[in-house]
Amino acid sequence: MNSQRGGFFLGMIVGLLIGLALALGVALYITKVPLPFIDKVPQRTAEQDAAEAEKNKNWDPNSPLYGKNPAKPHPVQVEAPAASEAASGVAPAAVETPVAPAVPVAPVASAASSAKEIKEAKAAAKAASAAASAARNPAAILSGEPVSTNPASDSLSYQVQAGAYGSQAEAETQRAKLAMMGLEPRIQEREVNGRTMYRVRIGPFAQREQADEVRVKLQAAGVESALVRVQK
């Protein structure tokens, strides 16, 4: 009876020792043998962590918008106020930079074109004076030739110029704008001092009153115009 009890305890102790040995062996195997999933992930060093932190510190969310040659905006440096101003507690006055007023863009019109129009007006006035003197000629009256009571209107016609441009495309744009107003503009090409000018004109009109009505309509629409007298 005592021998059986002693054999049972001995077997239990031996079993415990064997179990402990197996557990120790399994623990050593796990710690020494590389695991297939853990060892596939590379271990990061302290230098890599520091470089990643510096990169995240200087990260710019707009960097993809700069393209291959980024032109990043420079930080604006704000000048600190003087020590005397800081001590007094008075904020420095803001310096205002005067902005030059915008110069209105006038239609392209050369001085030579204006001189040409003045010359045409003088020639028309001279022709009107000659016609008036012929009307007062007694020989013409005695010969029975018809005498005009309004020689200036017989020898002149009137046009309204709504712009002179150095580009045909600009002249076509102005012509289309005037056509939408119900007018019938024409583009006249003229060589002035070796440069081709495209003049947008409306007319001719036999009476000056008709041309003045067109000018009033253009002025109401905000279009600048000029009256041109042309000899027939």
Give all domains of the chain, ordered by start, each with its CATH number. Answer: 111-231 (3.30.70.1070)
Strand ordering across the sheet containing 185-192? 185-192, 195-205, 156-165, 226-231
Task: Report which residue type is found at 75.
Answer: P
Question: How many angstroms separate the CA atoms of 14 and 17, rounded?
Answer: 5
Report percent pLDDT > 90 for the chain. Answer: 31
- pLDDT given for residue 142 in this prediction: 47
Between 158 and 58, the higher pLDDT residue: 158
Closest by alpha carbon to 149, among 136, 165, 162, 140?
A: 136
66-121 pLDDT, tens digit per residue, is 555 555 555 555 555 544 444 445 555 544 555 444 545 444 445 455 566 776 77
pLDDT in tens, 117-139: 776 777 777 666 655 554 454 44
Euclidean distance between CA atoms 20 and 12, whole angstroms: 12
Residue 108: per-residue pLDDT: 46
How far apart are alpha carbons 167 and 108 in whole angstroms? 9
User: End-to-end CA distance of the chain, in Å?
Assistant: 155
Q: Is pTM beyond 0.85 here? A: no
What mean pLDDT value characterizes the chain? 72
The predicted pLDDT at position 211 comes to: 93
Q: Give CA separation, 58 vs 49, 62, 229, in Å.
A: 15, 12, 73
Instruction: For residue 26, name the pLDDT band (cuts at 50, 70, 90).
Output: confident
Dihedral of CA atoms 217, 219, 221, 222 in degrees, nearest 10, equals 170
pLDDT at 148: 46
